[in-house]
Amino acid sequence: MNKFTALASAVVLSVVAGTAFAAPVSGFGNDQAPAQYTTQGPAGFGGANAAPQSVQQVLANGYDDQRVTLTGRLTNYLGHDRYEFADDTGRIEVELDDDRDWSHISKDQQITIFGKVDRERRYVKIDVKDARPAQ
């Protein structure tokens, strides 16, 4: 009798489990979610946690190794591979890797730079990985 009871229990459990998995899942629709979960997305994808969009934001809130994309102009040569980059909100030092060919951009040309923030105790600068003429 024990074997029969075990077999019957296994059959009943498999039928119940199969029915539960086949049933449509409910409770995940936006119409049933509390308002606090539907008005804003997860942190880090926009809003206050978004990447800086200007020199002023980089200087105020940029953190070390944060990726940034800025549009502005190279306005001054500071020596070796260092330049001054300016947009409408301010100026910041940028470092163009001397192993790359940067001849496709020029002084005072509107460009878009792609790089990482380099924040130290005494300075903030951007290590430029790529730069393109702005469109």
**Binned average pLDDT, 10 residues per bin, the chain of 135 residues:** 66 58 48 44 58 92 94 94 96 92 93 95 94 90
Sign of the CA dihedral running 100, 106, 111, 117: positive
Q: Is residue 18 part of a domain?
A: yes
Query: Is 99 inside a domain boundary?
Result: yes
Predicted TM-score (pTM) above 0.95: no
Domain carrying residue 11: 2-38
Clarify whether residues 24 and 58 are in a common domain: no
In a domain? residue 45? no
B/e letters for 17-26, b = 16+ CB within 10 Å, e = fewer, are eeeeeeeeee
Q: Are residues 26 and 61 in the same domain?
A: no
* 68 and 32 in a common domain: no
Q: Which long-range contacts (CB under 8 A, 24 or more apart) does 29-38 make?
A: none
Domain-embedded: residue 103: yes
Contact 51, 67 (CB under 8 A): yes
